[in-house]
Amino acid sequence: MRLTGVKPGDLIRVNDGMPYIAEVVDAPVRQRVRVRPVTFKSTAREVKARDVVTHWRKARVSSA
């Protein structure tokens, strides 16, 4: 998956041998992105673009 639209705060589904959902911590650099797993307690880790399965954008509040 391309990481061009991935921004900090977004959620992604990762499958690097064990599927999990994670929150993006930093902007992607060189087809890698730092994430913090949501489904289990762990420190931030770096995953490759090929391990990213799905991407959900963080909801933006619109000013009306």
Q: pLDDT for 2-51, tens place per residue?
A: 888 899 999 999 998 989 999 999 988 999 999 999 988 888 899 999 99
* Whether the predicted model's global pTM rises above the 0.75 cut: yes
Burial of 21 (0-12, 13-18, 19+ CB in 10 A): middle
User: Domain ranges in the chain?
Assistant: 11-56
Distance from C-alpha of 14 to C-alpha of 51, rounded to nearest angstrom:
6
Distance from C-alpha of 4 to C-alpha of 59, rounded to nearest angstrom:
17
Distance from C-alpha of 54 to C-alpha of 21, rounded to nearest angstrom:
9
CATH number belonging to the domain at 11-56, selected among 2.30.30, 2.60.120, 3.40.390, 2.60.40: 2.30.30
| Model pLDDT, residue 39 | 81
pLDDT digits (tens, 9 = 90+) for 42-64: 888 999 999 999 999 987 776 76
